[in-house]
Structure 1
Amino acid sequence: MHRIDAQVAADPVQRELGLMYRRYMPKNEGMLFVFERPTIQCFWMRNTVLPLTVAFVAEDGTIVQFADMEPLSNRSHCSRVAVRYVLEMHQGWFAQRGIREGMRIHGGPFDP
Protein backbone atom coordinates (compact mmCIF):
# COMPACT_ATOMS: atom_id res chain seq x y z
CA MET A 1 0.00 0.00 0.00
CA HIS A 2 1.26 3.47 -0.87
CA ARG A 3 -0.18 6.68 0.50
CA ILE A 4 -0.64 9.59 -1.91
CA ASP A 5 -1.44 13.08 -0.71
CA ALA A 6 -3.03 14.60 -3.78
CA GLN A 7 -4.34 18.08 -4.28
CA VAL A 8 -7.55 17.98 -6.28
CA ALA A 9 -8.11 20.02 -9.42
CA ALA A 10 -11.84 19.66 -10.09
CA ASP A 11 -12.85 22.80 -11.93
CA PRO A 12 -11.59 24.28 -15.21
CA VAL A 13 -9.45 26.99 -13.55
CA GLN A 14 -7.76 24.53 -11.16
CA ARG A 15 -7.19 22.03 -13.97
CA GLU A 16 -5.65 24.67 -16.24
CA LEU A 17 -3.20 25.82 -13.54
CA GLY A 18 -2.35 22.30 -12.32
CA LEU A 19 1.21 22.15 -10.97
CA MET A 20 2.52 25.07 -13.03
CA TYR A 21 5.17 27.28 -11.42
CA ARG A 22 5.80 24.91 -8.48
CA ARG A 23 9.47 24.50 -7.64
CA TYR A 24 9.03 21.85 -4.93
CA MET A 25 6.61 19.04 -4.11
CA PRO A 26 7.07 16.47 -1.31
CA LYS A 27 7.83 12.95 -2.58
CA ASN A 28 4.39 11.40 -1.93
CA GLU A 29 2.35 14.38 -3.07
CA GLY A 30 0.77 14.93 -6.43
CA MET A 31 -2.28 16.33 -8.14
CA LEU A 32 -5.49 14.53 -9.05
CA PHE A 33 -7.42 16.02 -11.95
CA VAL A 34 -11.12 15.18 -11.81
CA PHE A 35 -13.31 15.53 -14.88
CA GLU A 36 -17.10 15.49 -15.10
CA ARG A 37 -17.19 12.45 -17.36
CA PRO A 38 -14.71 10.11 -19.05
CA THR A 39 -13.10 11.63 -22.17
CA ILE A 40 -9.75 11.50 -23.93
CA GLN A 41 -7.44 13.69 -21.84
CA CYS A 42 -4.30 15.46 -23.03
CA PHE A 43 -1.67 16.99 -20.74
CA TRP A 44 1.45 19.09 -21.31
CA MET A 45 4.09 20.73 -19.14
CA ARG A 46 4.04 24.41 -20.12
CA ASN A 47 5.34 26.43 -17.16
CA THR A 48 5.86 23.25 -15.11
CA VAL A 49 9.42 22.80 -13.87
CA LEU A 50 9.03 19.49 -11.99
CA PRO A 51 9.48 16.32 -14.09
CA LEU A 52 6.23 14.37 -13.72
CA THR A 53 4.67 11.04 -14.59
CA VAL A 54 1.00 11.22 -15.44
CA ALA A 55 -1.32 8.27 -14.80
CA PHE A 56 -4.52 8.19 -16.83
CA VAL A 57 -7.14 6.55 -14.61
CA ALA A 58 -10.54 5.06 -15.47
CA GLU A 59 -13.67 5.83 -13.51
CA ASP A 60 -13.23 2.69 -11.34
CA GLY A 61 -9.65 3.64 -10.39
CA THR A 62 -7.88 1.36 -12.89
CA ILE A 63 -4.66 2.84 -14.26
CA VAL A 64 -4.93 2.56 -18.03
CA GLN A 65 -1.75 4.35 -19.12
CA PHE A 66 1.34 6.22 -17.93
CA ALA A 67 3.31 8.99 -19.61
CA ASP A 68 6.57 10.58 -18.46
CA MET A 69 6.49 14.32 -19.11
CA GLU A 70 9.52 16.59 -19.43
CA PRO A 71 9.55 20.00 -17.73
CA LEU A 72 8.65 23.12 -19.71
CA SER A 73 7.51 21.15 -22.74
CA ASN A 74 4.49 21.89 -24.91
CA ARG A 75 4.37 18.26 -26.11
CA SER A 76 0.93 16.75 -25.50
CA HIS A 77 0.53 13.39 -23.81
CA CYS A 78 -2.96 12.01 -24.48
CA SER A 79 -4.82 9.05 -23.06
CA ARG A 80 -5.48 6.18 -25.48
CA VAL A 81 -8.98 5.75 -24.06
CA ALA A 82 -11.51 7.94 -22.27
CA VAL A 83 -10.64 8.49 -18.59
CA ARG A 84 -12.26 10.44 -15.77
CA TYR A 85 -9.13 11.03 -13.67
CA VAL A 86 -5.52 11.98 -14.24
CA LEU A 87 -2.94 11.68 -11.44
CA GLU A 88 0.39 13.53 -11.67
CA MET A 89 3.27 12.41 -9.45
CA HIS A 90 7.03 12.93 -9.46
CA GLN A 91 8.58 11.28 -12.51
CA GLY A 92 9.38 7.67 -11.65
CA TRP A 93 7.18 7.55 -8.53
CA PHE A 94 4.92 4.82 -9.93
CA ALA A 95 7.76 2.74 -11.43
CA GLN A 96 9.81 2.87 -8.21
CA ARG A 97 6.87 1.29 -6.38
CA GLY A 98 6.12 -1.35 -9.01
CA ILE A 99 2.80 0.24 -9.91
CA ARG A 100 1.78 -0.81 -13.42
CA GLU A 101 -1.00 -0.29 -15.92
CA GLY A 102 -4.02 -2.40 -15.01
CA MET A 103 -3.58 -1.90 -11.27
CA ARG A 104 -6.34 -0.14 -9.36
CA ILE A 105 -6.10 2.89 -7.08
CA HIS A 106 -8.24 2.68 -3.93
CA GLY A 107 -9.58 5.43 -1.71
CA GLY A 108 -10.83 8.92 -2.37
CA PRO A 109 -13.09 9.22 -5.41
CA PHE A 110 -12.21 5.70 -6.62
CA ASP A 111 -14.23 3.88 -3.95
CA PRO A 112 -18.01 4.31 -3.61
Structure 2
Amino acid sequence: MKFGCIILTLAAAACTLPANGGSEANACATNTQLEQSVAGLAQAKLCIFSGAKKRSFTVEIARNSMEQAKGLMFRTELADDTGMIFPFPEPKIASFWMKNTVIPLDIIFIRENGTIESIAENTVPYSTEPVSSGEPVASVLELRGGLTSELGIAAGDKVVWQSK
Protein backbone atom coordinates (compact mmCIF):
# COMPACT_ATOMS: atom_id res chain seq x y z
CA MET A 1 0.00 0.00 0.00
CA LYS A 2 1.63 3.25 -1.05
CA PHE A 3 1.19 6.26 1.11
CA GLY A 4 -0.73 8.90 -0.79
CA CYS A 5 -0.46 12.28 0.87
CA ILE A 6 2.12 11.44 3.44
CA ILE A 7 5.41 9.84 2.53
CA LEU A 8 6.70 8.15 5.61
CA THR A 9 10.27 7.32 6.38
CA LEU A 10 10.20 4.75 9.10
CA ALA A 11 12.95 2.93 10.87
CA ALA A 12 12.64 -0.81 11.22
CA ALA A 13 11.60 -1.38 14.81
CA ALA A 14 9.97 -4.20 16.69
CA CYS A 15 6.55 -3.18 17.93
CA THR A 16 4.29 -4.38 20.66
CA LEU A 17 1.42 -2.03 21.22
CA PRO A 18 1.81 -0.53 24.69
CA ALA A 19 -0.85 -0.48 27.36
CA ASN A 20 -2.52 -3.58 26.01
CA GLY A 21 -3.05 -5.17 29.38
CA GLY A 22 -1.40 -8.39 30.43
CA SER A 23 -4.40 -10.72 30.21
CA GLU A 24 -5.33 -9.67 26.65
CA ALA A 25 -1.71 -9.87 25.49
CA ASN A 26 -1.36 -13.32 27.06
CA ALA A 27 -4.58 -14.47 25.40
CA CYS A 28 -3.10 -13.63 22.01
CA ALA A 29 0.56 -14.47 22.59
CA THR A 30 2.11 -17.49 20.99
CA ASN A 31 5.36 -19.24 21.80
CA THR A 32 5.60 -20.49 18.24
CA GLN A 33 8.12 -18.68 16.05
CA LEU A 34 6.32 -17.88 12.81
CA GLU A 35 8.02 -18.38 9.46
CA GLN A 36 8.46 -15.47 7.09
CA SER A 37 5.57 -14.88 4.71
CA VAL A 38 5.76 -15.82 1.03
CA ALA A 39 6.61 -12.13 0.43
CA GLY A 40 9.58 -12.44 2.81
CA LEU A 41 8.07 -10.41 5.65
CA ALA A 42 8.12 -11.29 9.33
CA GLN A 43 4.77 -12.45 10.69
CA ALA A 44 3.01 -12.16 14.04
CA LYS A 45 -0.16 -13.32 15.73
CA LEU A 46 -2.74 -10.57 16.21
CA CYS A 47 -6.08 -10.58 18.02
CA ILE A 48 -9.01 -8.21 17.93
CA PHE A 49 -11.25 -8.20 20.99
CA SER A 50 -14.85 -7.16 20.29
CA GLY A 51 -16.68 -7.39 23.59
CA ALA A 52 -16.43 -11.05 24.62
CA LYS A 53 -15.37 -12.18 21.13
CA LYS A 54 -11.75 -12.70 20.14
CA ARG A 55 -10.77 -12.79 16.46
CA SER A 56 -7.30 -14.19 15.66
CA PHE A 57 -5.15 -13.42 12.62
CA THR A 58 -1.66 -14.07 11.31
CA VAL A 59 -0.33 -10.78 9.96
CA GLU A 60 2.67 -9.80 7.90
CA ILE A 61 4.63 -6.93 9.43
CA ALA A 62 5.54 -4.07 7.08
CA ARG A 63 8.25 -2.44 9.20
CA ASN A 64 10.27 -0.18 6.93
CA SER A 65 9.32 2.45 4.36
CA MET A 66 9.92 0.12 1.40
CA GLU A 67 7.75 -2.67 2.85
CA GLN A 68 5.08 -0.16 3.81
CA ALA A 69 5.09 1.47 0.37
CA LYS A 70 4.44 -1.91 -1.27
CA GLY A 71 2.01 -3.23 1.34
CA LEU A 72 -0.57 -5.54 -0.24
CA MET A 73 -0.20 -4.18 -3.78
CA PHE A 74 -0.58 -6.69 -6.61
CA ARG A 75 -2.06 -9.38 -4.32
CA THR A 76 -5.10 -11.07 -5.83
CA GLU A 77 -6.45 -12.61 -2.63
CA LEU A 78 -6.22 -12.33 1.13
CA ALA A 79 -7.42 -15.13 3.40
CA ASP A 80 -9.89 -14.24 6.14
CA ASP A 81 -7.40 -15.12 8.90
CA THR A 82 -4.53 -13.04 7.49
CA GLY A 83 -3.63 -9.40 7.04
CA MET A 84 -0.81 -6.87 7.18
CA ILE A 85 0.14 -4.49 9.98
CA PHE A 86 2.03 -1.23 9.53
CA PRO A 87 3.63 -0.15 12.85
CA PHE A 88 4.85 3.43 13.18
CA PRO A 89 7.70 4.52 15.49
CA GLU A 90 5.59 7.49 16.65
CA PRO A 91 1.82 8.05 16.46
CA LYS A 92 0.85 10.11 13.40
CA ILE A 93 -2.01 10.85 11.04
CA ALA A 94 -1.81 7.91 8.64
CA SER A 95 -2.82 8.24 5.00
CA PHE A 96 -3.04 5.32 2.57
CA TRP A 97 -4.14 4.88 -1.01
CA MET A 98 -5.07 1.83 -3.07
CA LYS A 99 -2.93 2.46 -6.15
CA ASN A 100 -1.89 -0.93 -7.60
CA THR A 101 -3.96 -2.73 -4.97
CA VAL A 102 -6.10 -5.29 -6.77
CA ILE A 103 -8.49 -6.31 -3.99
CA PRO A 104 -10.70 -4.21 -1.69
CA LEU A 105 -9.35 -3.89 1.83
CA ASP A 106 -10.61 -2.84 5.24
CA ILE A 107 -8.06 -0.36 6.62
CA ILE A 108 -8.09 -0.27 10.42
CA PHE A 109 -6.46 2.68 12.18
CA ILE A 110 -5.15 1.74 15.66
CA ARG A 111 -4.37 4.15 18.49
CA GLU A 112 -1.29 3.84 20.70
CA ASN A 113 -3.39 2.18 23.45
CA GLY A 114 -4.49 -0.55 21.00
CA THR A 115 -8.07 0.63 20.45
CA ILE A 116 -9.44 1.02 16.96
CA GLU A 117 -9.77 4.71 16.04
CA SER A 118 -11.67 4.12 12.79
CA ILE A 119 -12.13 1.67 9.92
CA ALA A 120 -12.21 2.48 6.21
CA GLU A 121 -14.28 -0.43 4.90
CA ASN A 122 -14.08 -1.93 1.42
CA THR A 123 -11.61 0.58 0.04
CA VAL A 124 -11.73 0.88 -3.75
CA PRO A 125 -9.05 -1.04 -5.67
CA TYR A 126 -6.64 1.13 -7.71
CA SER A 127 -7.96 4.37 -6.17
CA THR A 128 -5.50 7.20 -5.60
CA GLU A 129 -7.89 8.97 -3.20
CA PRO A 130 -6.24 9.13 0.25
CA VAL A 131 -7.80 7.18 3.11
CA SER A 132 -6.72 8.80 6.37
CA SER A 133 -7.04 8.35 10.09
CA GLY A 134 -8.98 10.99 12.01
CA GLU A 135 -6.27 11.36 14.64
CA PRO A 136 -2.68 10.21 15.19
CA VAL A 137 -2.40 6.41 15.26
CA ALA A 138 0.37 3.97 16.21
CA SER A 139 -0.34 1.40 13.52
CA VAL A 140 -2.62 0.41 10.68
CA LEU A 141 -4.03 -3.05 9.98
CA GLU A 142 -5.29 -4.20 6.60
CA LEU A 143 -7.75 -7.09 6.28
CA ARG A 144 -9.86 -8.43 3.41
CA GLY A 145 -12.48 -5.91 2.33
CA GLY A 146 -15.79 -6.39 4.14
CA LEU A 147 -14.36 -8.66 6.83
CA THR A 148 -14.66 -6.17 9.70
CA SER A 149 -18.38 -5.77 9.06
CA GLU A 150 -18.87 -9.53 8.71
CA LEU A 151 -17.08 -10.16 12.03
CA GLY A 152 -18.63 -7.21 13.88
CA ILE A 153 -15.27 -5.45 14.38
CA ALA A 154 -15.78 -1.74 15.10
CA ALA A 155 -14.17 1.46 16.34
CA GLY A 156 -13.31 1.12 20.03
CA ASP A 157 -12.45 -2.60 19.80
CA LYS A 158 -9.03 -3.63 21.09
CA VAL A 159 -6.14 -4.87 18.91
CA VAL A 160 -3.33 -6.86 20.52
CA TRP A 161 -0.22 -8.19 18.82
CA GLN A 162 3.32 -9.05 19.68
CA SER A 163 6.30 -9.20 17.39
CA LYS A 164 9.68 -10.63 18.11
TM-score calculated relative to the size of structure 1? 0.93
Aligned-residue RMSD, C-alpha: 1.0
2:129 is matched with which residue? 75
Say if 2:78 and 2:143, in contact at 8 Å, map to a contact too.
Answer: no
Structure 2 residue 82 is the aligned partner of structure 1 residue 29:
yes
Deviation track 1:16-67 (CA, whole Å, cap 9, x = no partner) reads 0000011122121110001110000001100000100100001121000011
Percent identity, aligned pairs only, is 33
| Map 1:1-112 → 2, pairs under 5 A | 1-68=54-121, 69-108=123-162
Where 1:3 maps in the other structure, the secondary structure is strand
Mark the runs of 5 or more structure 2 residues left unpaired by the alignment.
1-53
Where 1:66 maps in the other structure, the secondary structure is strand
Cα offset, 1:107, TM superposition: 3.1
Greater radius of gyration (CA):
2
The count of corresponding residues between Structure 1 and Structure 2 is: 109
Tell me whether 36-45 or 91-100 shows the greater mean CA deviation: 91-100
Deviation track 1:53-110 (CA, whole Å, cap 9, x = no partner) reads 100001121000011211011010111100010000011111111111011112326x
Runs of 4+ aligned structure 1 residues displaced above 4 Å come to: none
Cα offset, 1:15, TM superposition: 0.4
Where 1:46 maps in the other structure, the secondary structure is coil
Mark the runs of 5 or more structure 1 residues left unpaired by the alignment.
none
CA distance in 2, matches of 1:83, 1:37: 8
